[in-house]
A and B are shown apart, each in its own frame.
Chain A
Amino acid sequence: MTERPVHADGEPRRGVAVLKAIVRHRIFFALVCLALVLLLNMIVTMATSGSPGSFFKIVHTNGTFNGPLITILNRSSELIIVALGMTVVVSCSAGVDISVGAVMAFSSSVMVWLLGYGTLAQNDYHVKAYVVPLALGMLAALAVGSLCGLWNGFLVSRLKIQPMVATLILYTAARGAAKVVNSGQILKVDLPNFRWFGNFIQNGAGRNIIPLPTPIFIAAGVVLIVALVLRFTALGMNIQSVGINNRASRILGLNSARIILLAYVFAGLCAAIAGIIASSRIGGIDAQNNGKMIELDAILAVALGGNLLSGGKFSLAGTVIGAITIQTLTTVLYSINVSADQLPLYKAIVVVVIVVLQSTELRPMLNRAAAFVRPRRPAVAVAQAGE
């Protein structure tokens, strides 16, 4: 045997290995981000209210639970739903659907128009009685969203247009169409049931009978359904397979064009659901602001969740955590008096940080830097001396 350094650290200890596996896991990063913004929120809340735990406090008043955490969860519902659709689109087509916000506005505009059909003619922008049943109106919204998705999917999967370009069409057109539908007016629906989906479910006397805001349930429901579908079908594997290697997927019998088409339909459907929540929140349709800029938050949520924007493997949990993180960030920015139009700047900074951290080039770069800064192993030290 020649004398040489024995690799004392060659076999990492088991505990360390487990820890490393956790740190490397894609969701770990998302959780760290969430923890950071929660901490930030806590500090800000503490500074303003003076009591350390007030950010995490949940109080029960008027038959409902209230507190900053509930508000964040409630406000992130639309984003969670839209981001789920975005996750699937990104995974299988390695591109993003930037039309989701506009599709939200368009599909709920159609819904409100249907509900109050005829009221516009009398220049009265308040719907006081449903012309069609509420359920039918909502179904129509879902149908419109799905059709928009079908269009996007057709362009991407059959005509092989770049996803960003293909969805740019509806990104501009759908919001315009949304305004056309209701003559550019903000149409109000003055009926209590309509507000259930964005607020609390109430009884006839106007008391809240469910203690949590409805959007949380809708978002949870959508997440649950998607999780169950992925758990009990091979769709998740197929979507990822198509995203990772389209040609191989075709050879092994997958209809990749159809899978991509369906992914966009799903994204459209998700947008429609989110649109219904958003319009129900304000009790009417505001085509200008419904789903405004949500596509960017959704893409950010997908990336934050550890999903590569180049497609392939995805994690639902990551996306949900990502969406909540963004809403938490938004909340903290609002609470330190950043105005809505300045918000994108701060989010952009976050995006830059995430993209840099996700870069595959970063780790080798850091390793190289580390190797120069502190020689870790004897062999390295010798080489350093010789250079």
Chain B
Amino acid sequence: MVEPLVTMRGITKHFPGVLALDDVDFTLAPGEIHALMGENGAGKSTLVKVLTGAEPFETGEIRLAGNPAPVINHSPQEAQERGISTVYQEVNLCPNLSVAENLFAGRQPHHGMFVDRREVNRQAARIMADIGVDVVVERQLGEHSLAVQQMVAIARAISISAKVLILDEPTSSLNEQEVARLFELIRKLRDDGMGVIFITHFLHQVYQVCDKITVLRNGHLVGTYAIEALPRRDLVAAMLGRAFDDMAAIHRRSEDEVDRGGAPVIAARGLGVRGGIRPFDLDVYAGEVVGLAGLLGSGRTEVARAIYGADAADEGTLVVKGAPVKHSPIDSMRAGMAFCPESRKDEGCVQDLSVRENIVLAEQTKRGAFRLMSRAEQDRITREYVDLLAIKTASLDTPVKQLSGGNQQKVIVARWLATHPDFLILDEPTRGIDVGTKAEIQRLCVELAGEGMAILFISSEIDEMLRTCSRLGVMRDLSKVGELVDDEMSSSAIMSKIAGDEAGDD
């Protein structure tokens, strides 16, 4: 048997109040793509951080091929020198430098004190050609697509040291074709004998590229499996620690159940933003989950933002429960709207504030700064939603930045549910969170609609929308191009609508 590249044994690590890793073993062989799977907070990222020296650990040992004794990395740089490179979801490169400069930043070939620009470009072109990515290396990184940027990041990682490559959620912001290209590259690296650790939330991608799966749950090792030995259903069961029943249990409401007798909760007429979303009409009735489908950048988010007033609309009218509403967040909130934005980091969480403050903020703002909710009321509300959404937090006073991504998302949802909205906008509420939470949020959506809430649901995953929505608006090139209702909705119908019914339209 070949010597493994990485052997981690009995790794244990605490975070304040949490056992992050408990006696976890992990082995990575050369020439293997190894998926690290688990729900949010299961310890995937922590394990990787321990390996790369971004976090210290308490007990256990790490052995690397070529080192006779156990090794401790004290920093990612040190890990990199030992041949372990990491590429994160967010590309940590400079968009305003050229591809070549990014590849060689900090280690340019030079004559004396001058950088040999020609040599930089020549070597960069060779590296990119090696991994089979066709780019003009002199062009700025920012001009390239996210996928190419990601591959440049990978190229940089492997050109520095090429034994172990860690990919943390590399595909979250890529489209299908880009993912395919990335996978081609990963397979090539594997065939060259590299070990790849692949972290993702997309189950199907695991089965497309990976050879082995290690599953973690609540900081414990569930097991390491060959890919053939662990069908998808069993993987989910292993991650959740229970049988896979949740997705099946979600039954979307049908349009027939929606009462269209009264006025719609939301009625947008010709609402548009100059330079943004083209004028669109949209009605959402109480008890209805309406989805918005379309490619990234097709205007799904922009529709939501225009309705909520996050982007001020330049034309058109918005009528909420029969009364016109001005276009600003606070007016929208007072009219009964709630908006969970797409980017929970930039527009959702107030990182340093506590879970309690994050949850009560919107309701408090709605009431006004001078009508402070009592501490008892704040605690009651927070407790209610922490329980309802099963938010995992050490305490109500824990800063929200210490929570895992999925739990942060739940905090944002809780914030808006606490305002008791009539109309809830969820923009990518399940992005980057685990299956269990995903199912919970979808189920919650359908339940809330059942209780009479009107919901606008935006997701990149068509399956998810087919499960939850009873009606779909389809977006293309910043315009609303159509609607699909109940039985008309299917993956293929949506795709052909997105692609444009006319042949030849791209």
How far, in angstroms, from A251 to B353 measured CA to CA in the complex? 16
Decide: A252 near B365, CB < 8 A? Known: A368-B74, A386-B69: yes
Name the residue of chain A whose CB is nearest to the CB of B71: A383
- Evaluate contact between A238 and B369: CB separation under 8 angstroms: yes
| Residue B502, interface by CB 8 Å | no
In this complex, the member of A4, A240, A249, A368 whose beta carbon has the largest number of chain B beta carbons within 10 angstroms is A4
0/1 string, A1-14, CB within 8 A of B gives 1: 01011110010000
Name the residue of chain A whose CB is nearest to the CB of B333: A253
| Residue A169, interface by CB 8 Å | no
Which stretch, B9-17, B382-390, B440-448, touches the partner chain A? B9-17
Q: Which size bracket describes the interface of A in this complex?
A: 35 or more
- Evaluate contact between A4 and B329: CB separation under 8 angstroms: no
How far, in angstroms, from A382 to B364 measured CA to CA in the complex? 54
Decide: A5 near B369, CB < 8 A? Known: A247-B346, A371-B74: no
How far, in angstroms, from A2 to B207 measured CA to CA in the complex? 32
Within 8 A of B (CB), among A230-256: 232-235, 237-238, 240-241, 244-245, 247-255
| Residue B72, interface by CB 8 Å | yes
| Residue A312, interface by CB 8 Å | yes
- Evaluate contact between B329 and A250: CB separation under 8 angstroms: yes
In this complex, the member of B60, B72, B350, B415 whose beta carbon has the largest number of chain A beta carbons within 10 angstroms is B350
- Evaluate contact between A379 and B59: CB separation under 8 angstroms: yes
- Evaluate contact between B75 and A368: CB separation under 8 angstroms: yes
A73 to chain B, nearest CB (A): 31
In this complex, the member of A232, A367, A379 whose beta carbon has the largest number of chain B beta carbons within 10 angstroms is A379
How far, in angstroms, from A241 to B359 measured CA to CA in the complex? 12
Contacts of A244 in B (CB 8 A): 350-353
Within 8 A of A (CB), among B329-378: 329-330, 333, 339, 341, 346-353, 357, 361-362, 364-366, 368-373
| Residue A380, interface by CB 8 Å | yes
A1 to chain B, nearest CB (A): 9
A-B contact number at CB 8 A: 116
- Evaluate contact between A248 and B310: CB separation under 8 angstroms: no
How far, in angstroms, from A368 to B74 measured CA to CA in the complex? 7
| Residue B70, interface by CB 8 Å | yes
How far, in angstroms, from A248 to B368 measured CA to CA in the complex? 17
| Residue B67, interface by CB 8 Å | yes
Decide: A2 near B9, CB < 8 A? Known: A238-B365, A250-B329, A367-B56: yes
- Evaluate contact between A233 and B74: CB separation under 8 angstroms: no
| Residue B501, interface by CB 8 Å | no
Tell me which of B329, B350, B369 contacts A245 (CB under 8 A).
Answer: B350
- Evaluate contact between A245 and B58: CB separation under 8 angstroms: no
- Evaluate contact between B350 and A383: CB separation under 8 angstroms: no
| Residue A313, interface by CB 8 Å | yes
A166 to chain B, nearest CB (A): 24
Tell me which of B69, B330, B370 contacts A382 (CB under 8 A).
Answer: B69
| Residue A377, interface by CB 8 Å | yes
How far, in angstroms, from A86 to B187 measured CA to CA in the complex? 57
- Evaluate contact between B70 and A241: CB separation under 8 angstroms: no
- Evaluate contact between B58 and A386: CB separation under 8 angstroms: no
Contacts of A377 in B (CB 8 A): 58-59
Decide: A248 near B59, CB < 8 A? Known: A382-B69, A383-B71: no
Tell me which of A233, A253, A255, A380 contacts B370 (CB under 8 A).
Answer: A233
Contacts of A379 in B (CB 8 A): 57, 59-61, 70, 72
0/1 string, B253-278, CB within 8 A of A gives 1: 00000000000000000000000000
How far, in angstroms, from A305 to B104 measured CA to CA in the complex? 43
- Evaluate contact between B14 and A10: CB separation under 8 angstroms: yes
Tell me which of A10, A233, A241, A254 contacts B353 (CB under 8 A).
Answer: A241
B287 to chain A, nearest CB (A): 25
B325 to chain A, nearest CB (A): 13
0/1 string, B321-333, CB within 8 A of A gives 1: 0000000011001
Tell me which of A240, A245, A368 contacts B349 (CB under 8 A).
Answer: A245
| Residue B68, interface by CB 8 Å | yes
B324 to chain A, nearest CB (A): 19
| Residue A16, interface by CB 8 Å | no
A107 to chain B, nearest CB (A): 27
A127 to chain B, nearest CB (A): 40
| Residue A385, interface by CB 8 Å | yes
Binding site for B on A (CB under 8 A): 2, 4-7, 10, 232-235, 237-238, 240-241, 244-245, 247-255, 312-313, 367-368, 371, 377, 379-380, 382-383, 385-387
Binding site for A on B (CB under 8 A): 9-10, 12, 14, 23, 56-61, 67-72, 74-75, 308, 310, 329-330, 333, 339, 341, 346-353, 357, 361-362, 364-366, 368-373, 415
Would you mind naming 16 contact pairs between A and B with Cβ atoms under 8 Å apart? A4-B10, A233-B372, A240-B352, A245-B350, A245-B351, A247-B347, A248-B347, A251-B339, A252-B333, A252-B361, A253-B366, A313-B353, A377-B58, A379-B59, A385-B69, A386-B67
